[in-house]
Structure 1
Amino acid sequence: MQTALKVLGQSALRTLSTYSAAMAPSSALSNKYKFETLLVSSPKDHIYHVQLNRPQQLNAMNSAFWREMVECFQAISEDNDCRVVIISGNGKHFTAGLDLTDMGPLMETVLGDDDIARKFRTLQQFIKRYQLSFTSIEQCHKPVIAAIHGGCIGGGVDLVTAADIRFCTQDTFFQIKEVEIGLAADVGTLQRLPKVIGSDSLIRELVYTARKMYADEAAQAGLVSRVLPDKESMLNAALEIAIAIAGKSPVAIQGSKHNLNYARDHSIEEGLNYMVTWNAAMLQSEDLRIAAMASMDRKGPPPVFSKL
């Protein structure tokens, strides 16, 4: 990683040491990505930072949030200026999870209809829309780094398990809280967490008891790959990784994400066969020649790749 930073030069190091200054939203992105519940900025070329931005409500997830997450990540996925995304929470906590005060209209609609088939259809469509909010992170062509601090509760766990890389602060806790409000987690935790954490016993303990998992335990279990002392150092670490990723071939990075996701959900043989087809096309990319030439000339400038 240090080698990568040296290649990128002193400007990258200055960005790392003054992360908060770099986080001022650019006017171009502010005009392009306008949301009620999310704040999008670009701390460095090809790197976007998405912040959950309801700090007074502890970033609780209301109806606007669920809609805007899909809009945001589907747009970023097709934005060829972006090569990697950091997602974090503004304020004291990453997120308090579902905004229960926002559920009233839905429950009134459901309770006001006596027909079970129509209640079912309403709830089915509602749950699917919420699921898409975090599936859009997983399906985003660009790697997503979740930078987590404070509480990551309920829907927050659903969100971060859809990310590619997870860092957290020492004061972070994770809580799968849904059983405490009388339901099974239904927007991704039960499906993705078993692919992230290897211990089925631990997952069931966390789900059934709704107890808090603190940062050190989360790192030991493999939920996060780094624990940092505070939010600033965590964001610096996330940006350091993002800079390294953004400097690589977008063809290689996006292809790696796509095939890692495919391999996770298929057999080894299926994954290998899919990889053959994928690289039979992608090895013809100009990125391969550019990267190979740069690796042979280590004293030359870093490689520059076209947008994808």
Structure 2
Amino acid sequence: MADPAETPSYKYFNLTYPIPYVAQIEIHRPEKLNAFIEPMWHELSTLFTTLSTSTTTRCIILTGSGPRAFTTGLDTTTASTSSSSPLSPTHFPPSTDPARRAASIRTHILSFQSCISSIASCAKPVVAAIHGFCYGLGIDIATCADLRFCSADASFSVKEVDIGIAADVGTLTRLGKVVGQASWVKDVCLSGRVFGGEEAGRVGFCGWVGGEGREGVLGEALRWAGVVVGKSPVAVQGTKEILDWSRDRSVEDGLRYTAVWNSAMIQTNDVPQAIQAGLKKRTPTFEKL
């Protein structure tokens, strides 16, 4: 299990280790359907940045608390009334120069993007276990995960068009790479329509769909994570790194990067341990990374 010193408490997230080496992060604002306010972005970034280098973490499951939602996205009520938010009409004095407004808004957006992208840049495999509502920012977050599992009763929406903006935290950049069906991606992004778990599985947005509610999808995520944490952490993290690096590059570039990466990582003691365990039909154990 995790060292208690490595599992600090957070205000808006619950961090637990239900099985050894598997960190479970629960978005915890159930009274607001886990909708995000600004402090949550920064806390989420701190969590994933910390777990990325944690020696007691080999896989991460991200889920939502309560029976109704993974997250309904940005808390637009708070964002539109808080003086610290550019979405609030009181954020800028009336005399502010348009260029300076734009510079301030851009800085705000880049900060938000960086916080959410901490999920994608995490060195450990991340599974989004989705139930109930997954709207707006929920899609941004889900596209950052390595895998998406959802309950049959999950519902999704790229909701930003309904509040008058283009999604700006990752969906429009990542969703097409995740799904690979341009027409479908444009359909859901331009219309903001709600689609369910069955459709999410059919188009490849979610790799596993089943059960009803949070517990079913969380159980499957834990089962998958339990398999992965039994593998060499050197091999798992290297595999994720090379897959992510190669995604937007040519095959030749990917092969070159793989050769450089494995020229170091193939020297690990995990290789002979894994081979011997396979030959002797026993379960291998690996040191912390």
**Partner of 1:136 in structure 2?**
118
Match of 1:84, as an amino acid? C
Aligned equivalent of 1:283: 266
- One-letter amino acid matched to 2:76: L
Q: Is the 8 Å Cα contact of residues 113 and 119 (structure 1) preserved in structure 2? A: no
Instruction: State how 1:243-282 maps to structure 2 within 5 Å.
Output: 243-282=226-265
- Flag the structure with higher helix content: 1
Q: What do residues 184-224 of structure 1 show as CA deviations (whole Å, max 9, x unaligned)? A: 00000011101111110000010110001111111000000
Pair 1:102–1:111, CA change in 2 (3 A): farther
User: Does residue 293 of the first structure (1) align with residue 269 of the second (2)?
Assistant: no
Aligned residue in 1 for 2:4: 28
How large is the RMSD of aligned CA atoms in angstroms? 1.6
Partner of 2:284: 303
Amino acid at match of 1:100: T
Percent identical pairs in the alignment equals: 37
Whether the aligned pair in 1 keeps the contact of 2:7 and 2:16 (CA below 8 Å) is no
3-state DSSP of counterpart to 1:261:
helix
Q: What corresponds to 2:217 in structure 1? A: 234
1:109 to 74, 87, 91: 91
Question: What secondary structure does 2:25 align onto?
Answer: strand
Letter in 1 for 2:232: S
For residue 92 of structure 2, give the secondary structure of its aligned residue in structure 1. Answer: helix
Alignment of 1:24-173 (within 5 A): 28=4, 32-91=7-66, 92-103=68-79, 104-105=82-83, 106=85, 107=88, 108-112=90-94, 114-173=96-155
- Give the TM-score of the pair, scaled to structure 1: 0.88
User: Deviation at 1:112?
Assistant: 4.6
1:215 equivalenced with 2:197 (yes/no): yes
State how far apart, in whole Å, the 2-side matches of 1:265 and 1:184 are. 23
For structure 2, the 5+ residue unaligned runs are none
The alignment covers a number of residue pairs equal to 281
Of 164, 185, 192, the residue aligned with 2:174 is 192
Distance in 2 separating the partners of 1:130 and 1:77: 19
Give distance in 1, aligned partners of 2:208 and 2:58.
22
